[in-house]
Amino acid sequence: MQKKYAIGIDLGGTNLRVGLVSSEGKIIRKIKEPTSREILDSILKASGTLISDEVRGIGLGIAGLVDREGGKILISPNLPLIEGVHIVDVIRKRFDVPVCIENDANTAAIGEKWVGAGKEFSNFVLFTLGTGIGGGIIYNKKLLSVSAELGHMTIDANGEKCPCGNNGCLEVYASARAILSKAVNALEKGRESLLKGCCGGNFYKLTTEDVYRIALDGDSLARETLRDAGRYLGIGIANIINLMSPEAIILTGGLIGAWNIYIQEAIKEASRRAFKELYDAVKIVPSVLKDDAGVIGAAGLVFEEIE
Amino acid sequence: MQKKYAIGIDLGGTNLRVGLVSSEGKIIRKIKEPTSREILDSILKASGTLISDEVRGIGLGIAGLVDREGGKILISPNLPLIEGVHIVDVIRKRFDVPVCIENDANTAAIGEKWVGAGKEFSNFVLFTLGTGIGGGIIYNKKLLSVSAELGHMTIDANGEKCPCGNNGCLEVYASARAILSKAVNALEKGRESLLKGCCGGNFYKLTTEDVYRIALDGDSLARETLRDAGRYLGIGIANIINLMSPEAIILTGGLIGAWNIYIQEAIKEASRRAFKELYDAVKIVPSVLKDDAGVIGAAGLVFEEIE
């Protein structure tokens, strides 16, 4: 039996995506559901639906700090229930196929390299811009198997507290969580804004899509919030350009929907801060695979690592 | 004729070092002189003294942003005279041997990996702590051929101007230049300190060695200056730990002489800021090769790249 498929699992903070992926990087079938308390059961059930003799192995991309050799998650602020669980063992025992594990932003980088926006580049850094900020680094066409916690660079020495324990992390200023918290804080203080009329007046239900839409209508609080966050993102991008001299920065995650304000501002700030020679050599581009990058990349990990 | 030697050239901001290095990474003969306006002549003369039929090639490590393919320096704030010069061509034509070029902190990292403090580690990041701050990244036992401009990460978004054009770079807070400028500023403002009595009363001639010596005597300005700089260095180290999850951070350059205050403070700050799991897995150690790392690493580049 030719083992021409792999199952890719992408477990982010809010959604579980499981896909059957071909050796050409095409998703054949996909299951998506919100993460829940029974997350391990959901993973096993979805994988069970897709498994067959043609599956070479299962690749897992999980939000958090991964112990690759130990086959488990060390820390996952958004998925505390699976911290310390030997998830690789559990899945391997159930399906009797090789299983490998990576950080979810790292698998997204593999996906973009394989069949996405990174196909043409040997060296790039992917930023995942969502509730939090993560990343993956491709060097000489391969994933650097490093933490790449791009959201947890200090960019403001005496800055605000981050849930990770540090102060002034990029994520505190440039993530979706940061954008919403800044907007809500301003509204709570009585700032006038079209954002107030959103969500039937309950601004605690605001999404970054609302903020962007209303920013495009010219609302000053919404514009200012996205611009500020973008400026901080630009600092993070400039840092990575100065450190890694990549050919490309690939941006993915929900926030790239706000490209014309948030990302444009980030690009402007990065161009101001990074070494000119390095900035001129880098392309800053959006993801091609979008939400599928993680599933495809997790499957790619299987094709790469398991002969 | 067995080509068992390579010439390693280390051209920093203040000194030129040229060495004949064996294939075991031992320096057989070394020439050292201050950099001057005739730097290219000095390089050719020193290399001419060491060249023989047994020399396989010449490796160059130069302070600045290097164009490896083009064989030249793009920017070198401390060596503006050689910016844009096709230095690899010039040396190759003169001696008719292969010549390769790298950033000087990158060659120092190769040196430490080959026969120094990095021998036992597959993944480490080297910080060069001198007038400026540079770095080199070893991954899977090999140099990552990237810019690794560790001194030019923004760690303070709205911070002081850096000569590179950016604001809030690590180098502005944690380098020897930063330490001396902070101390002199305080003295100019009339701050009482034993540093005043240094250098026959001319505190513009202070060195970081003076500051450390007087800090050990208990002087509060000297101690405070080194501690502040160390704290900022710790931010830079924590950022690199969160990004690269290395097994080791290797510290080199003149400032590691101030280990008991400056570096100790950096280690404390890094431990507070980096992800605990990553910090616990990293060793922070001094260079073994000291000033020889660059020469040995530049020669190592030859043995690595030229079969």
Round to whole Å and give the CA distance between B195 and A222.
52
Round to whole Å and give the CA distance between B15 and B30.
13
CATH 3.30.420.40 at B118-287, yes or no = yes
* pLDDT, position B34: 92
At A57-89, the pLDDT tens digits run 999 999 989 999 999 999 887 788 888 899 999
| A307 pLDDT more than 70 | no
CB-based contact, A2 to chain B, within 8 Å = no
Contact A149 B65 (CB under 8 A): no
Instruction: Show me where the domains of chain B are located.
Output: 5-111+291-305, 118-287
Contact B153 A273 (CB under 8 A): no
* pLDDT, position A306: 72
Size of interface A-B (CB pairs under 8 A): 115
| B1 pLDDT more than 80 | no
SS3 for A193-227, per residue?
Answer: CHHHHHHHHCHHHCCHHHHHHHHHCCCHHHHHHHH
CB-based contact, A232 to chain B, within 8 Å = yes
A37 by Cβ neighbours in 10 Å (0-12 / 13-18 / 19+) ranks as exposed
Nearest to A156 among B157, B166, B272 (CB): B157
Round to whole Å and give the CA distance between A68 and A145.
9
Nearest to B242 among A123, A147, A278 (CB): A147
* pLDDT, position B208: 96
Nearest to B243 among A149, A277, A278 (CB): A149
Best probe of the A interface among B74, B141, B154, by most A CBs < 10 A, is B154
Q: What is the mean pLDDT of residues B188-202?
A: 92
Contact B154 A235 (CB under 8 A): yes
- Taking CA B269 as the corner, what is the angle to CA B267 and CA B271, rounded to the nearest 5 degrees? 70
Round to whole Å and give the CA distance between A77 and A110.
23
Residues in chain B, total = 307
Best probe of the B interface among A137, A237, A239, by most B CBs < 10 A, is A239
Q: What is the mean pLDDT of residues A277-285?
A: 97
Taking alpha carbons only, the member of A10, A43, A5, A4 closest to residue A293 is: A10
CB-based contact, A248 to chain B, within 8 Å = no
At B203-223, the pLDDT tens digits run 999 999 999 999 999 999 999
Tokens, residue A282: 């880098």
| A7 pLDDT more than 90 | yes
Percent of chain B with pLDDT over 90: 90
Q: Distance from B305 to chain A by nearest Cα, in Å?
A: 16
Taking alpha carbons only, the member of A247, A195, A203 closest to residue A221 is: A195
Q: Distance from B172 to chain A by nearest Cα, in Å?
A: 13
Q: What is the identity of the amino acid at A29?
A: R
* pLDDT, position A299: 98
DSSP state of B294: H
Q: What is the identity of the amino acid at B259?
A: W
For chain B, the helix, strand and coil percentages under 3-state DSSP, each to the nearest 5? 45, 25, 30
Taking alpha carbons only, the member of B167, B234, B181 closest to residue B211 is: B181
Decide if B5-111+291-305 and B118-287 have a common fold: yes
* pLDDT, position B307: 62
| B150 pLDDT more than 90 | yes
| A232 pLDDT more than 80 | yes
- CA B135 to the chain's CA centroid: 6
Q: Are A247 and A282 in contact (CB under 8 A)?
A: yes
Round to whole Å and give the CA distance between A50 and A40.
16
| A9 pLDDT more than 80 | yes
Contact B65 A277 (CB under 8 A): yes
Residues of B in contact with A105 (CB under 8 A): none
Q: Nearest-CA residue of chain B relative to A236?
A: B154
Q: Are B294 and B108 in contact (CB under 8 A)?
A: yes
Q: Distance from B171 to chain A by nearest Cα, in Å?
A: 13
DSSP state of B31: E
Of A29-43, B104-118, B168-182, the one with minimum mean pLDDT is A29-43
Average pLDDT taken over every residue of chain A: 95
Taking alpha carbons only, the member of B269, B273, B278, B277 closest to residue B244 is: B278
Q: What is the mean pLDDT of residues A239-265?
A: 97
Tokens 């390693």 appear where?
B8
Round to whole Å and give the CA distance between A306 and A100.
9
Q: Which CATH architecture has domain A120-287?
A: 2-Layer Sandwich (3.30)
Contact A157 B158 (CB under 8 A): no
Residues of A in contact with B277 (CB under 8 A): 65, 74-75
Best probe of the A interface among B124, B153, B237, B241, by most A CBs < 10 A, is B153
Round to whole Å and give the CA distance between B227 and B221.
10
Residues of A in contact with B146 (CB under 8 A): 123, 139, 243-246
Q: What is the mean pLDDT of residues B139-150?
A: 97
Please, which pLDDT band fits residue B167 given cuts at 50, 70 and 90?
very high
Q: Are A230 and A271 in contact (CB under 8 A)?
A: no
Residues of A in contact with B278 (CB under 8 A): 65, 147
Residues of B in contact with A276 (CB under 8 A): 165
CB-based contact, B122 to chain A, within 8 Å = no
| A30 pLDDT more than 70 | yes
Q: What is the mean pLDDT of residues B39-51?
A: 96
| B95 pLDDT more than 90 | yes
| B14 pLDDT more than 90 | no
Percent of chain B with pLDDT over 70: 99
| B78 pLDDT more than 80 | no
Q: Are B221 and B206 in contact (CB under 8 A)?
A: no
Residues of B in contact with A164 (CB under 8 A): 275
Please, which pLDDT band fits residue A56 given cuts at 50, 70 and 90?
very high
* pTM assigned to the model: 0.96
SS3 for chain A, per residue?
Answer: CCCCEEEEEEECCCEEEEEEEECCCCEEEEEEEECCCCHHHHHHHHHHHHCCCCEEEEEEEECCEEECCCCEEEECCCCHHHECCCHHHHHHHHHCCCEEEEEHHHHHHHHHHHHCCCCCCCCEEEEEECCCEEEEEEECCEECCCCCCHHHCECECCCCECCCCCECEHHHHHCHHHHHHHHHHHHHCCCCCHHHHHHHHCHHHCCHHHHHHHHHCCCHHHHHHHHHHHHHHHHHHHHHHHHHCCCEEEEECHHHHHHHHHHHHHHHHHHHHCCHHHHHCCEEEECCCHHHHHHHHHHHHHHHHCC
Please, which pLDDT band fits residue A126 given cuts at 50, 70 and 90?
very high
Tokens, residue B98: 């292969």
Q: Are A105 and A298 in contact (CB under 8 A)?
A: no
CATH 3.30.420.40 at B5-111+291-305, yes or no = yes
Contact B154 A238 (CB under 8 A): yes
CB-based contact, A28 to chain B, within 8 Å = no
Taking alpha carbons only, the member of A127, A218, A219, A110 closest to residue A175 is: A127
Nearest to A242 among B123, B149, B242 (CB): B149
Tokens 């509730």 appear where?
A131
CB-based contact, A72 to chain B, within 8 Å = no
Pairwise pLDDT comparison (B80 vs A125), residue with the higher score: A125
- Taking CA B239 as the corner, what is the angle to CA B233 and CA B242, rounded to the nearest 5 degrees? 140
Cα-based torsion angle of the residue sequence B139, B141, B147, B148 in order, rounded to the nearest 10 degrees: 60
* pLDDT, position A107: 97
CB-based contact, B22 to chain A, within 8 Å = no
Q: What is the mean pLDDT of residues A131-152?
A: 96
Torsion region of A68: left, alpha or beta (phi above 0 gives left; psi -120 to 50 gives alpha):
alpha
Of A11-15, B159-163, B168-172, B278-282, the one with minimum mean pLDDT is A11-15
Q: Are A150 and A249 in contact (CB under 8 A)?
A: no
Contact A153 B244 (CB under 8 A): no
- CA A135 to the chain's CA centroid: 6
Q: What is the mean pLDDT of residues B196-205?
A: 89
Q: Nearest-CA residue of chain B relative to A273?
A: B166
Q: Distance from B61 to chain A by nearest Cα, in Å?
A: 18
Round to whole Å and give the CA distance between B251 and B259.
10
Beta bridge partner(s), residue A31 = A18
Taking alpha carbons only, the member of A209, A232, A211, A210 closest to residue A222 is: A211
